[in-house]
Structure 1
Amino acid sequence: MARTSPAPELVVPPLTPFDADLRVDRAALTAHIDYVVEHCGATMLVAAGVETQEYHYLAFEERKALIRHTVEALSGRLPFVVGVSHPSFRTAVELAQLAESLGAAAIQLLVPLRPFGGAPSTAELVRYIELIAKETRLPIMLYLNAGPGADLSPDATVELAKLEPVRYLKESSRDLSRVGRLIEQIDKSGHAQYLTTAQMLLISLQLGGSGATMPAPVAELGGKIIRAYSTGDVREAARLQSQLSLFPARWMHRGLGPTMKAALAALGRGIGDPYPPFGTVTADEVAQLAAHLKTTDLTHVGSEHA
């Protein structure tokens, strides 16, 4: 039986290509966005919103330019979300107002650490969100990623998700007990749409979650999983989900962004290397990754399925 609830969301953050001078390569960015739109089944794009997009290496004006370039390359084909994360709520507001001017569907906001150290209280985070929300009409996609952002308890997470401006909650824990609880208390309770990671996609859909956020090329598999699940073919969805058991996990010690860029190159869709010096994937790892990708349903440029 086909799914009768709203179609799951697949929110894709296009990776950022850099040229030899470490400036954003606009031509490569446009080609990458074309791939995301045409082959990954994305329902929304994120402009400069997650750490994998390497926006944090850019000066503030360059970050705003990346947002504009992304929107220009998308050319109205899909709704988009703009990342506004910053320790200063005033800077986040400036980015949110840029997002409004560009026609964004929402803003994405990382739940922050305290800049001076120590875990933020729930009250501090509520105030942070409220200070931003009162200066924009756009709904918020709240982003939980412990490490670059705060590590919240489930209770604190639910409290933030209940805030009126929060319409989506993207959470990166990959902890099934936590994921199940948050789906029950947030998504199924009507507070916000819960979005998970690639590794948790199928089980999250089965538990009642609303979809996932993931970069390409993993997003190509994510799109296939969602299509199979939405048409009632759970066996096919499970077959595809199993392809995310080793990829990208086997190479994640290099980081998600570097692994995704190496995978894109192996598929003939290369957009260059990660911003130096972090995240270098060795030649042996590239060869292993390329061999593994041949066993997946990802389309290689030039293959009979491309």
Structure 2
Amino acid sequence: MNISPGLIVPPLTPFDAQLRVDEPRLQAQVNYVVDICDASFVIAAGVEAQEYSCLTLAQRKALIDRTIEYVAGRRPVVAGISHPSFRVAVELADYAARAGAQAVQILAPLRPFGGAPSEHDLVNYFTRIAAETELPIMLYLNAGPGADVSVEATVALAEIPQIHYLKESSRDLARVARLIQQIDHAGLARYYTTMQMLLITLELGGAGATMPPPAAALGRQLINAWQAGDQTRARALQQQFALFPAQWMKHGLTPVMKAAMEWLGVPAGEPYPPYSALSGLDREMLERYLRTTDLQHQGTHHA
């Protein structure tokens, strides 16, 4: 499963009018992630952009099932099992294993009773889960919905043998550069960052990045250019991430990416209520910007 450089992509989650997962649209999202983004791994119900926290446990399991079904063996699937309770995470891990997932992803959690967990808390949490699942673990670091984990604690977590992959959401170059050395180059785990850090991650010897569609379509083009030695094109693609999605992030990542997928002609619907879709002038400005990017030929929209 180790692919370097790689792209880890979570398909967006479409909802119907009854707030159930819209399965035909989900299948189209999965196909876009596999065929257009050329994902190295597909994430099922694992990151905040997928709105998994809005779902019941039964709905999360169904989303894992449908994602694995629609990927249909074309790529390895990493199932999200994040939960403050390690017992619930283990239940989801067992379910993911039976459903055919190749790995599980777990957000480093906040304490359920408030406050930041200690390094001991986090190591204990992940060690307990690792003891009860045979699947490789992808450690997901995203301060805000999850814990803000120090460099030292991140290295300690990466030393858990069952943690094979690490997804880093920080845009802190000093942190990223250090952890690529201390985790990836040290042979502890493969270290992935995010869209704004993709090119520098590749240059520093990291494993790649995680990002939702359609940003992942740009990420794939960037990786391909970098592998081909075309640094000019790789830099031009990285520069497209300077404004997309940052200029519209006041709305949140999911609304921006859902609006971009709508523009591409692969609709993922609106964000789970009460959160609003991108609209008005901001949506017009986003679509105008997208026409200047390398996404312009990757959908069925009318430019």
TM-score grouping bracket, smaller chain normalisation? over 0.9
Match of 2:279 among 262, 279, 282: 282
| 1:90 paired to 2:99 | no
Match of 1:198 among 184, 192, 195: 195
| 1:301 paired to 2:299 | yes
Counterpart Cα distance in 2 of 1:222 and 1:214: 8
Counterpart Cα distance in 1 of 2:57 and 2:185: 38
Counterpart Cα distance in 1 of 2:282 and 2:238: 22
Farther-moved stretch of structure 1 (209-218 vs 101-110): 101-110
Match of 1:213 among 202, 210, 214: 210
Kept in 2: contact 1:255–1:279 (CA 8 A): no
- For residues 264-298 of structure 1, the C-alpha deviation after alignment (integer angstroms, 9 at most, x for no partner) is 11122212100011243222111110000000001
Give the TM-score of the pair, scaled to structure 1. 0.96
- For residues 26-71 of structure 1, the C-alpha deviation after alignment (integer angstroms, 9 at most, x for no partner) is 0000011111111112111000000110011111111111110111
Counterpart Cα distance in 2 of 1:266 and 1:6: 31
Equivalenced residue count is 301
Within a 5 Å distance, the mapping from 1:62-211 to structure 2 comes to: 62-211=59-208
Kept in 2: contact 1:41–1:224 (CA 8 A): no
Counterpart position of 2:15: 18
Structure 1: 5+ residue stretches without partners: none
Kept in 2: contact 1:171–1:197 (CA 8 A): yes
Within a 5 Å distance, the mapping from 1:52-71 to structure 2 comes to: 52-71=49-68
- For residues 198-245 of structure 1, the C-alpha deviation after alignment (integer angstroms, 9 at most, x for no partner) is 010000110010011100000000000011111211221111111111
Farther-moved stretch of structure 1 (46-55 vs 262-271): 262-271
| 1:243 paired to 2:240 | yes
Kept in 2: contact 1:198–1:214 (CA 8 A): yes
- For residues 44-101 of structure 1, the C-alpha deviation after alignment (integer angstroms, 9 at most, x for no partner) is 1000000110011111111111110111111111111000000111110011011111
Give the TM-score of the pair, scaled to structure 2. 0.96
Farther-moved stretch of structure 1 (84-93 vs 277-286): 277-286
Counterpart Cα distance in 2 of 1:164 and 1:45: 22
Counterpart Cα distance in 1 of 2:3 and 2:44: 24
Q: Cα distance 1:79–1:281, how it changes in 2: closer, same or farther (>3 A)?
A: same
Counterpart position of 1:228: 225
Counterpart Cα distance in 1 of 2:141 and 2:69: 28
What amino acid does structure 2 have at the position aligned with 1:62? Answer: Q
Counterpart Cα distance in 2 of 1:300 and 1:222: 13
SS of 1:181's equivalent?
A: helix
SS of 1:253's equivalent?
A: helix
| 1:49 paired to 2:51 | no
Of all paired residues, the percent bearing the same amino acid is: 57
Counterpart Cα distance in 1 of 2:299 and 2:83: 37
What amino acid does structure 1 have at the position aligned with 2:16? Answer: D
Kept in 2: contact 1:169–1:194 (CA 8 A): yes
Counterpart Cα distance in 2 of 1:111 and 1:67: 20
Counterpart Cα distance in 2 of 1:302 and 1:45: 22
SS of 1:69's equivalent?
A: helix
Kept in 2: contact 1:7–1:230 (CA 8 A): no
Q: Cα distance 1:241–1:280, how it changes in 2: closer, same or farther (>3 A)?
A: same
Q: Cα distance 1:272–1:303, how it changes in 2: closer, same or farther (>3 A)?
A: closer
SS of 1:142's equivalent?
A: strand
Counterpart Cα distance in 1 of 2:35 and 2:11: 13
Match of 1:259 among 232, 237, 256: 256
